[in-house]
Amino acid sequence: MAVKRLFDIALALIALIMSLPVFLLIAIAVKLNSSGGVFYKQIRVGKHGNEFKLFKFRTMYINSDNAGLLTIGNKDYRITRVGYWLRKYKLDELPQLLNVLKGDMSLVGPRPEVRKYVNMYTPAQLRVLTVKPGVTDWASIKYFDENELLAGSDNPEDMYIKSIVPSKINKNLEYIDNHNLLMDVKIILFTLKRIFQ
């Protein structure tokens, strides 16, 4: 685990330094596109059920999350014009490198959920909370276009709870049972490939 933590810190620092110009450009674009702060902070559930603040670039209008936790692709009126492009290329996730440095998250691990959905987990599914959540994982790659999938559903939240969440957790449990540093590198490379396709 110490090796994984060192790997996380080293890669997160390198990524932050290399992406600093991008950070600044995104911050300016978010600020000019709509009123409000540059960052969006949301309470997520991490390792052992401990809550933490997850950082993202703000992609929605202020207080939009009061209308619901799920977003549904192009049809979601709450997403700003800049926010749409940030989400499309996953650039809104960049600030989570700060969460990695803080120790709340790892680069690779099960994506952290909000408490509302974690409270619906079965005892077997709760095993995903035995490891640190990650910025990316196999489930993130499989459901890269999750928002568009939800947009095509008559009941997005029902689809998310009954279909997507169980599928994601199964992938995450497979990761927990088989993960190693080489697999983490593989997941990061596959994630980058998916982003730039």
Q: Which residues on adjacent β-strands are paired with residue 102?
A: none
pLDDT, position 108: 98
Long-range contacts of 113-118 (CB under 8 A, 24+ apart): 113/44, 113/45, 113/165, 114/42, 114/43, 114/44, 114/45, 114/69, 115/43, 115/45, 115/51, 116/69, 117/160, 117/161, 117/165, 118/45, 118/49
Q: Is the pLDDT of residue 72 over 90?
A: no
pLDDT, position 27: 96
pLDDT, position 48: 97
Number of domains forming the structure of the chain: 1
Provide the b/e sequence for 92-118 (b: ≥16 CB within 10 Å).
bbbbbbebbeeebbbbbbbbbbbeeeb
pLDDT, position 55: 98
Q: With pLDDT > 90 as the criterion, what percentage of the chain qualifies?
A: 80
Q: Domain span at residue 80?
A: 2-195
Q: When comparing pLDDT for 58 and 197, which is higher?
A: 58
